[in-house]
A and B are shown apart, each in its own frame.
Chain A
């Protein structure tokens, strides 16, 4: 029973990793760049929700939706202003650029007097509730994370599968030039992908906030989403979620069954093993460079 309990809490935190990893993968597939700012976008999303609920006095749902939309717009803006001018430069420059954005985001949040340096709790309606299912004690906050992730994944799946926009995104991520020739506005789509990634990050932040707290350094959890993305294969959307779940469960189980210290390193050990054994990840396409 304890095992099951651990697996469930692992799945819940794994969903968060998966959602952040989803942002990495979306951006990587669209623009072949890796965004190190994803964790901090998540942090901004959580702060956005907090601001909506406490300072502006929005009701819960309105605040959540407002935060997600605001972060989506922020992502589009970010792409337009800083990312687009240097697309085509070596991937390393863009990595450094996103690290810079992350620094700025974290710094600006801590600069807000009295708010940025404190830790806050997000006042959600389902705070501290528990469901009892036989001997199993289910934390409602964790259940909400799992349910919301499932719904979001279904929505994204439907979008990529059936909507024109989603198919255009898939096309341009497979071959930008060919997509451009087919009349797909690739540049606009890249902006939208950044917006989508930022919105997903905001959702992850809002889901994570009740479990931990809202604070300026919560973006560092994004560093644990990298292993998730790598395990799933950096080019696969379902892979990101599966990778996140694997990392979450491994972390949760190793925290309990292995000596102290393994909890924080287990994800990285998993990713190192993965890189040695199968560098393309579980669901990654097999890529081979040709001369």
Chain B
């Protein structure tokens, strides 16, 4: 057990709370930087996907985990970002500029979607975002002049002011850089007054409002930031796949993104990363274990859906804080060894606050 002796207020908001953090995150950084030499091409590509999904996950975490507004149409923002990037890159716009445009356009769309959020909440917001997701998918499929319709669109390699990033390693470093920037941005945002306002809105809108938080402004801001991150993720996703079509941004993708943050652990930045790792590695694990299962189970096309569903149900039932919550327990067990008690993380009995008129 580590006790931190605090001698200044600045320590309260430090990103690295103690030497252990510095050491372990430094090690992680080294590992990530050295990954191209350590892992084979295929696994490097998977790591790139994890980084891309982590960026999108950070955005969704900000919205769902920290502001308490859940979106069932997040794939739409991903799609807007991806298509903006594709169209601009193919028109010869340099990568950073196109990325900014993708983020900006997604954020604008996010604001538009955020507007109903000011009037409706809970399940109605879910409906609004779901409907919006369907409409965007249809627009992407039908606006053939720009998006190429259902046939999809090819995208050129990113062009960093004359330097073409067309190798797997180069693109990995690009994603790593953007992911680190996004993570630091989110961490800084969360310890600022804006981030605190988001959390206050999540915990109780009424008390947040009484504390002088402008609900409309902060909810819209949260939607915009979340959509912008999804747009950046979408842009990188388009570059990684080099080919995008509207059906990559459908309701299944939206649900996968939600599944990612829920399994990762709502309300924690780590959760976005753990969820992304889960989402990318799970299909690999399934395909690896397929050979050891009886053919009737292993070769069935529905296996992946069943595994996802069972894992999701199990997490909601037994581990509402997701993978990150599980990690907290494991860490507490080691820190307190041998004094960990069974009931330390016992789920509190809670009663849902009714939305109905009493």
Please report A residues at the B interface, Cβ cutoff 8 Å.
28, 32, 34, 82, 85-97, 99-111, 113, 116-117, 175, 216, 220, 223, 226-227, 230, 234, 260-261, 264-265, 267-269, 271-272, 275-276, 279, 285, 287-291
Contact = CB atoms under 8 A, between A and B. Distances in A.
A219 B300 CA distance: 19
Contacts of A291: 206
A111 B316 contact: no
B316 A86 contact: yes
Interface stretch (B38-46, B121-129, B167-175, B276-284): B121-129
A107 B304 contact: yes
Contacts of A100: 308-313, 316
Contact of A234 (B70, B123, B308, B310): B123
Contacts of A226: 127, 130
A265 B124 CA distance: 18
A287 B302 contact: no
A290 B358 contact: yes
A111 B303 contact: yes
B138 A99 contact: no
Interface string B118-155: 01101110111011101100100110000000000000
Given A95-B70, A104-B305, 15 more contacts: A88-B350, A91-B352, A96-B316, A97-B316, A100-B313, A106-B302, A106-B305, A106-B309, A111-B306, A175-B358, A234-B123, A265-B134, A272-B132, A272-B135, A276-B116
A228 to B, nearest CB: 11
A40 to B, nearest CB: 10
Interface stretch (B7-15, B100-108, B254-262): B254-262
A264 B64 CA distance: 27
B306 A268 contact: no
B351 interface: yes
A241 to B, nearest CB: 18
Interface residues of B, number: 54
A104 B303 CA distance: 9
Contacts of A90: 352
Give 8 nearest A-B pairs by CB, closest first: A103-B309, A107-B305, A110-B302, A107-B306, A100-B312, A104-B309, A268-B131, A107-B302
Given A91-B123, A276-B119, A82 B313 contact: yes
B138 A89 contact: no
A32 B309 contact: no
For the residues of A in contact with B, the DSSP-based class is helix
Given A32-B356, A96-B262, A289-B206, A116 B123 contact: no
Nearest to A31: B352
B138 A275 contact: no
A268 B132 contact: yes
B78 to A, nearest CB: 18
B301 interface: yes
A93 B259 CA distance: 11
B127 A275 contact: yes
B302 A86 contact: no
B313 A101 contact: yes
Interface string B257-279: 01100100010000000000000
B302 A89 contact: no
Contacts of A87: 352
B344 interface: no
A99 B302 contact: no
A265 B317 CA distance: 35
A44 to B, nearest CB: 13
B245 to A, nearest CB: 16
A268 to B, nearest CB: 4
Contacts of A104: 305-306, 309-310, 313
A95 B317 contact: no
A265 B135 CA distance: 6
B251 interface: yes
A108 B301 CA distance: 9
Nearest to A110: B302
A108 B142 contact: no
A287 B122 CA distance: 13
Contact of A227 (B127, B138, B306): B127
| Residue of B70, B131, B206, B307 with highest tally of chain A CB at under 10 A | B131
A36 to B, nearest CB: 9
Contacts of B352: 32, 87-91
A269 B312 CA distance: 31
A109 B302 contact: yes
B351 A271 contact: no
A272 B313 contact: no
Contacts of A269: 131, 135
A272 B135 CA distance: 10
B114 interface: no
